[in-house]
Every structure is written in C-alpha cells, then in structure tokens.
C-alpha cells in the first residue's frame, strides 16, 4: 500500500551533507571516480553476528533480529552443498541454484524464456518469476499494521511474492515437492536422496539421529538451507552503491542523477518503497525494499501457458486465505511484496509474473502506466486483475499518480539515469557453488 510521501523540501533538508556533496560535486564537476567522496562512517558499526552460536532456531526464523550464523558455520556450508545439489530433483538435474542462479543474483529462469522458470520436467513451469534469495536475512515475519486514519491495514514481510510463509526452514520443502519445480514425489524420497548424498556423513556429525526419521532429515535440511540463506555471504553488500554509501566510491554523473530521481518524491519516488536511507553510512540501512506490499498492476504476461485461460488470475497477497490476518480482504488482491532492487540488473525477467524482459521497460512502465495505458495493456487497463479489484490499484503514489492527460513524471533521459543508477546495485562478491 502507498507509503507516506515526504515533500521534496523535507528530503532536501534531511539529505546529509556527504551525499549532497557527493552528488553536487559529481553532477557539477563531471566524473570524479578516482576521487571518492568520503562519508562520515566512524560512529557506525554494523550489527554483528553472535559469534560462535551455530544453530538457527526455528522460532527465530524470518525475524528481522535473526543474527546471521558465523561465516564458518558447518550448517551454512551444508546448506550450500544442498542448494547446489542437482540430485535433489526428479528427474535429477535441477537444483535450487538452477532457478536461483548466482549468475543472475540468485534469481533466474532456468533456461525458460517466457517469464517464469522451467521446472525439472519439460513443459512444466513455476507459477511465478523467481525472486532473488540474496539478502533474505532482512525479511521480517509477515505482519499487518492498523492505522485508524486509513481504510485498510498495511501488510509487510513474509516470504514469497505473497508473504505466505514466515519460516525459511519450512518453506524450503515447497520447491522440493512442487511438481512444477523439483517434483519429488514425497518427503521420504527427499530424505533418501540426502542419506545417499556426498555430504551424508557431515549431516550425521552435525545432527544426532538425522536419518532416524524422515522428519528429522527434513528438519535438518531446512536448518541447513536457512543457515546458508541467512549467512553473511548471502548478503554481500559489495556493490558500487554500497561503496558509495560507505564513502569509498563515487557515482558517475548519470548514476548520481538517477539516484536523485529515484529518491525525489516528485519524480521517481522509488525509494518510498524500494527503501534507501540517505542518513546512514551503513549499507544495511538501504535494502532497496521496505518489504511492504503494493498493487502495481503489472500487465498480464500472455506468454504464460496458464494465462490462456481468461479466468486465471494471480491475486497475490489475498490468495493465501488466513482469516486471522485478514489477508483474504479485497484490498490485498493484486498486491505483491516489494522486491529488493539489489542485483536487479542481473535478473532475466522482472515483476512477479515476469511480464518485462528489460529493466528499462520496467522504468518506462512506471513512468507511463497512467499517461499511456494503451502501450501496456492491449485490451483494457489493469488487464491482469479482475475488474472488481481495479479500485485498489495504487494510483496515488508518484510516479504513477498522473492522469491520462498529464505528462509522465520521468523523461526519456531521466529513465536512462534511473536505469544507470540501478546498475550500481550489482554485487561484486556473489557466492558461487
Ligand atoms: C523451478 C524453479 C525453482 C527452483 C528449482 C527453486 N525455486 Fe525457490 N522460488 C522459485 C519461485 C518461482 C519462487 C516464488 C514463488 C512464489 O512467490 O509463490 C521462489 C521463492 C523462493 C524463496 C522465497 C524468497 C523470497 O524473497 O521470499 C526461497 C527462500 C526459495 N525460493 C528457496 C529455494 C530453495 C532452498 C530451493 C531448493 C530446495 C528452491 N528455492 C528451488 C523458483 C524455484
Ligand atoms: C508504492 C510502492 C512502489 C514504488 C513507489 C515503486 N515500486 Fe518498484 N516495485 C514495487 C512492487 C510491489 C513491485 C512488485 C510488483 C509485482 O511484481 O506485481 C516492484 C517491482 C519493481 C521492479 C522489478 C524487480 C524484480 O525483481 O522483478 C523494479 C525494477 C522496480 N520495481 C523499480 C522501481 C522504480 C525504478 C521505481 C521508481 C520509478 C519504483 N520501482 C517505484 C513497489 C514500488
């Protein structure tokens, strides 16, 4: 749901001296890459790991406070081996990393070109576009916040595009059992593969009685994958943008302009949801998502076989029926969790349904969804959402608050600048196998 919009003057007043100096210097005097602008980072220390503690308790998973396991955690190492193990699908050949591919920033479509990933069997496709699994240790539990002044509550957190799962260690069973993903017939079949794996002895060393029951084995699998996914190296903070935030690198003039537009509430206003904290020299404060939900009304992806059925819709958040959380309420229909834009330039496809195949097109869409709807929706606006939910599409937040007869908030050049800035979010140190 839309975030509070801060006025441009407020943002200007609040921008810390160092960022402004960096931007002004760069835009005013051209490229100064060799002369990085220092930010004042002495007072800030990163939240540290808990040292030697290695077990990740299930109760803690998905909480923002989950401390990352130490770098040499044997469970994280085991989790990494499991993540890259191509024996774990039926037929063999598809690992977690086939879809969550390090070369694509742990997103990717496993060779498919329609917008969603191919599964382990020919002709089978995952339901949605693969999200990146980097930076997952910052995703909070699913929650609703009620505000008396608003008509409906704000949702945030939870895993998957619709936040339906709050425990990483439990979630990982789903791709393994999903017939359109890794297609294992049963939990026993998965446990059997782990028992005969190259790392079976390491599992025995780490977990007493790990192969005594299927449940023990699957629990150990979940804890290992969770330890790997929440490990420090899976949140690398090694992009040019991170170095800029730390005061150790400068952006080019075009990138700096893109960042300013990204933050400017009257222009891109992107950081209202893809959160950046201009006050902090800690990259952790700029995760490029607030993990909130929004109804962006991405166009229907007509390449998806399931979408040949006109009545087929992906309603996102309101699909996981949970009366206690009110997630079935109509205002959540069409809302998806805001993805972090870290490593976004490495993705193969964009948005929950993979409707876009280039980053520039995504930004063009934001700029012209309202001003030129015919360009995006061949039949009628918001064509991937049943009409009864069109009233909940976000039309109040820049950049897509313009009326049809107003000019777009972003010019072609400004779109280029934002795309150029998004390119600075690519990590240098993405862990491999
Ligand atoms: C065939 C492709 C495919 C394979 C294989 C696959 N995934 Fe995924 N993964 C997806 C898709 C698609 C989603 C999004 C599903 C949704 O939102 O409903 C996803 C979502 C996730 C998420 C949630 C991320 C977030 O930001 O909330 C995690 C964690 C995850 N997968 C881990 C794994 C693990 C671990 C494995 C291996 C056991 C695996 N995946 C195998 C396609 C795949
Ligand atoms: C009101 C909240 C909000 C604002 C403002 C916003 N976004 Fe998004 N963004 C989202 C949500 C939610 C999604 C996922 C939508 C979906 O898949 O249905 C998304 C998806 C994206 C994606 C695709 C990422 C991926 O992994 O597929 C990109 C790129 C992106 N936004 C860039 C931008 C840019 C650039 C701006 C500013 C011009 C912007 N966003 C403004 C909420 C927002």
Residues 181 and 251 both lie in one domain: no
Is 171 near ligand 2, meaning CB less than 6 Å away? no
58 within some domain: no
Residues 421 and 296 both lie in one domain: yes
Report the pLDDT averaged over residues 49-70: 41
Report pLDDT for 64.
Answer: 46
Residues 161 and 208 both lie in one domain: yes
CA of 148 to the centre of ligand 1 (A): 36
Is 161 near ligand 1, meaning CB less than 6 Å away? yes
Report pLDDT for 146.
Answer: 87
pTM of the predicted model as reported, rounded to 2 decimal places: 0.88
Report pLDDT for 68.
Answer: 60
Report the pLDDT averaged over residues 31-38: 28
Find the domain containing 104 and state its range. 67-234
81, with CB counted inside 10 A (0-12, 13-18, 19+), is middle
Closest C-alpha among 85, 120, 393, 322 to residue 224: 85
Report pLDDT for 11.
Answer: 36
Is 172 near ligand 1, meaning CB less than 6 Å away? yes
CA of 131 to the centre of ligand 1 (A): 7
Report pLDDT for 150.
Answer: 83
Report pLDDT for 71.
Answer: 57
CATH code at position 300:
1.10.760.10
Is 171 near ligand 1, meaning CB less than 6 Å away? yes
Is 268 near ligand 2, meaning CB less than 6 Å away? yes
Q: Considering its fold, how many domains does the chain have in total?
A: 2
Report pLDDT for 15.
Answer: 43
Question: pLDDT band for position 72 (50/70/90)?
Answer: confident
Task: Out of 234, 254, 273, pick the residue that ends a domain.
Answer: 234
Report pLDDT for 329.
Answer: 84
Report pLDDT for 321.
Answer: 74
Report pLDDT for 279.
Answer: 94
Task: Out of 199, 234, 269, pick the residue that ends a domain.
Answer: 234
Residue located nearest, by CA, to atom 8 of ligand 1 = 175
**Rounded CA gap, 226 and 82, in Å?**
11
User: How does the average pLDDT of the chain come out, rounded?
Assistant: 86
Task: Note the ligand closest to the C-alpha atom of 182.
Answer: 1
Report pLDDT for 328.
Answer: 73
Which range (32-46, 334-348, 371-385) has the least confidence?
32-46
Q: pLDDT tens digits for 145-190? A: 988 888 888 999 999 999 999 999 999 999 999 999 999 999 999 9
Report the pLDDT averaged over residues 306-326: 87
- Through-space distance between the first and last CA atoms of the chain, rounded to whole angstroms: 37
Report the pLDDT averaged over residues 213-239: 98
pLDDT value at 20 more than 50:
no
**Rounded CA gap, 298 and 361, in Å?**
12
Residues 262 and 183 both lie in one domain: no
364 within some domain: yes
Q: How far is CA 79 from CA 51, 74, 204, 222, 337, in A?
A: 19, 8, 14, 8, 25
Is 225 near ligand 1, meaning CB less than 6 Å away? yes
Is residue 106 within 8 A of residue 132, CB to CB? The reply is yes
Is residue 192 within 8 A of residue 366, CB to CB? The reply is no
Residues 228 and 242 both lie in one domain: no
Cα within 13 Å of Cα(39), Cβ side: 27
């Amino acid at each position: 749901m839309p975030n509070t919009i801060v006025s441009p003057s407020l943002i200007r007043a609040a921008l810390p001296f160092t960022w402004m100096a960096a931007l002004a210097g760069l835009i005013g005097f051209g490229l100064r890459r060799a002369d990085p602008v220092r930010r004042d980072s002495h007072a800030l220390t990163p939240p540290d790991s808990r040292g030697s503690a290695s077990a990740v308790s299930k109760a803690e998973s998905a909480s923002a406070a989950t401390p990352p396991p130490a770098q040499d955690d044997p469970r994280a190492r085991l989790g990494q081996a499991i993540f890259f193990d191509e024996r774990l699908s039926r037929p063999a050949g598809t690992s977690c990393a086939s879809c969550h591919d390090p070369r694509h920033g742990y997103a990717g479509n496993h060779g498919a070109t329609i917008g969603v990933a191919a599964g382990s069997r020919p002709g089978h496709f995952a339901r949605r576009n693969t999200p990146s699994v980097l930076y997952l240790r910052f995703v909070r539990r699913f929650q609703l916040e009620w505000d008396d002044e608003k008509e409906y509550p704000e949702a945030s957190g939870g895993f998957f595009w619709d936040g339906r799962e709050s425990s990483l260690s439990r979630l990982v069973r789903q791709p393994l059992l999903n017939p359109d993903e890794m297609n294992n017939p049963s939990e026993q079949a998965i446990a059997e593969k782990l028992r005969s794996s190259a790392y079976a002895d390491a599992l025995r060393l780490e977990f007493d009685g790990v192969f005594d029951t299927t449940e023990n084995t699957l629990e150990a699998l979940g804890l290992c994958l969770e330890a790997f996914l929440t490990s420090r190296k899976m949140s690398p903070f090694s992009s040019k943008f991170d170095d800029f935030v730390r005061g150790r690198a400068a952006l080019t003039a075009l990138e700096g302009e893109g960042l300013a537009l990204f933050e400017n509430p009257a222009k891109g206003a992107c950081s209202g949801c893809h959160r950046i904290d201009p006050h902090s020299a800690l990259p952790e404060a700029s995760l490029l998502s607030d993990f909130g939900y929004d109804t962006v009304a991405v166009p229907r992806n007509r390449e998806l076989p399931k979408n040949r059925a006109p009545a087929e819709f992906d309603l996102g958040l309101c699909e996981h029926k949970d009366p206690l959380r009110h997630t079935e309420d109509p205002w959540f229909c069409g809302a998806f969790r805001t993805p972090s834009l870290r490593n976004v330039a490495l993705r193969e496809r964009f948005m929950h349904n993979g409707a876009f195949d280039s980053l520039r097109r995504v930004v063009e869409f934001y700029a012209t969804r309202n001003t030129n709807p015919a360009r995006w929706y061949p039949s009628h606006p918001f064509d991937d959402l049943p009409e009864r939910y069109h009233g909940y599409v976000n039309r109040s937040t820049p950049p897509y608050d313009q009326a049809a007869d107003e000019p777009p908030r972003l010019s072609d050049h400004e779109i280029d600048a934002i795309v150029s800035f998004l390119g600075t979010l690519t990590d240098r140190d993405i862990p491999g196998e």
